[in-house]
Amino acid sequence: MNSSTRRFSSRRPVALAPHLVWHHLGQAHRVTIWPEVAFEKEISPSLWVPYTPDPGCDAFTSGAVMLEKRRWKPFLEFFPADWSRFIQRFSFHRLHALAALAYAPALQEAFEDTPLLALVVAIHADLRGVAGAQWGELNALCDRGSVFAVLEWLGLPSTRACLDQLGTIDPDLPVRDLNRVREMLWQRHDVAVRARVASHSSIALAA
Band of the pLDDT at 7, cuts 50, 70, 90?
Answer: very low
First to last CA, the chain: 96
- Other C-beta atoms within 10 Å of 8: how many? 11
Q: Cis (ω within 30 of 0) for the bond into 74?
A: no
Distance of alpha carbon 61 from alpha carbon 24, whole angstroms = 9
Number of alpha carbons in the 13 Å side-chain half-sphere of residue 193 = 10
| pLDDT value at 135 more than 70 | yes
Count CB neighbours of 57 within 10 A: 15
Does residue 9 register a pLDDT over 60? no
Mean pLDDT value across residues 60-71: 94
Q: Please give the average per-residue pLDDT across 101-114, as a whole number.
A: 95
What local confidence, expressed as pLDDT, does residue 13 receive?
Answer: 40
At 16 the pLDDT is: 57
Q: Is the pLDDT of residue 207 over 90?
A: no
CA pair distance 120, 147, nearest whole angstrom: 12
Note the pLDDT tens digit of each residue in 149-192. Answer: 999 999 999 999 999 999 999 999 999 999 999 999 999 999 98
What CA–CA distance (Å, rounded) separates 158 from 148? 5
